[in-house]
Structure 1
Amino acid sequence: MKTPLKDPQSVTPDGERVAPLIEGVRIRRAVTHPDERGTVCELFNPAWGFHADPLVYVYQVTIRPGQVKGWVVHRIQDDRLFLSQGTMKAVLFDDREGSPTRGQVNELFLDHHNRGLLVIPAGVYHAIQNVGADDLFFINMPTRAYDHANPDKYRLPLVNDLIPYRFQS
């Protein structure tokens, strides 16, 4: 009979992630304030000092259950994603020359009970999967506005030779 493997710790007793994040990736957990009328949840406030760049552009993305959007990388801008509704798996891959975490993959999970603001630095590939049963909604507040004539957006297929990660259906 095989000895069962001990489950590795993934979070501290306070709920903080144990595995290291890719250099420059940050998560700020959001507080949702409920009352009898509904809820209020702050998405972004420059006073937090969480990201130095100003708010210049905002848009909402939806992903249907089981679907994946990505792989995408930006060379100039950072993305600042705020999970609003649903269950998100964000997978990140650091391909930045000279980064101390180059080659590292992060899997990060957020949902509407555990909302947060996720900073994805320029040069980090990312793909977002809806792992819930309902549509996923997130807000992106990138550090530069989308330029339709010259977008800072580069794509790879989900299965490729660069990123050592495979999504499960």
Structure 2
Amino acid sequence: MIHGIYVKHLVRHCDDRGFFMEILRDDDNLLSRFGQASMSKTYPGVIKAFHYHEKQDDLWFFPVGSAQVVLYDLREDSPTKGETNVFYMGEDNPILLVIPKGVAHGYRVLGSEPAVIVYFTTLSYDRQQPDEKRIPWDDPAIGFDWRTQNR
């Protein structure tokens, strides 16, 4: 796994009314500090990739729908520089994923329904100087094949 990536498996407490699930607690120690919480809805088949941050870490959670999440380690000083990790996240696999600064990340919505991502960052978004560097979804240096692998 890419150095600095953390996964927290979430636990659903189910009963005849539905379920309850904790997402993030201060004693999880997953973020160095809290900056902002945001939410986005993405339509089926859409690829939102790639970007990375120089100053902030992200923590991603998909409470609705399903997504193929791709990470690529860009950090020069990382023991896992150049490695790619793929995670399948969503309502059927409720996990939190910590993405450190310097790791490119993006996702593709799977299935026929939209996906909702709720994400937390260690810094608030700065509209004047956004900490968001873009890389094309099909960047040859990353070389990720986003097509579904039919087996």
What range describes the TM-score normalised by the shorter chain of this pair?
over 0.9
| TM-score where L is the length of structure 1 | 0.83
Root-mean-square deviation (Å): 1.3
Instruction: Identify the residue that residue 146 of structure 1 maps to in structure 2.
Output: 125
- 1:110, distance to aligned residue in structure 2 (A): 1.5
| TM-score where L is the length of structure 2 | 0.92
Percent identical residues? 30
Distance 2:92 2:139 in 1: 33
Out of 28, 40, 51, the position equivalent to 1:48 is 28
Structure 2 gaps of 5+ residues are none
The residue identity in structure 2 corresponding to 1:158 is W
Check the 8 A contact 1:88/1:131 in 2, yes or no: yes
Matches within 5 A, 1:77-156: 77-156=56-135
Structure 1 gaps of 5+ residues are 1-20
Instruction: Identify the residue that residue 41 of structure 2 maps to in structure 1.
Output: 62
**Larger RCO: 1 or 2 (CA < 8 Å, sep 6+):** 2
The residue identity in structure 2 corresponding to 1:149 is Q
Instruction: Identify the residue that residue 4 of structure 1 maps to in structure 2.
Output: none
Q: Between Structure 1 and Structure 2, which shows a larger proportion of strand residues?
A: 2
Distance 1:85 1:74 in 2: 25
The residue identity in structure 2 corresponding to 1:59 is S
SS at match of 1:58: strand
Check the 8 A contact 1:59/1:140 in 2, yes or no: yes
Q: Which has the larger radius of gyration?
A: 1
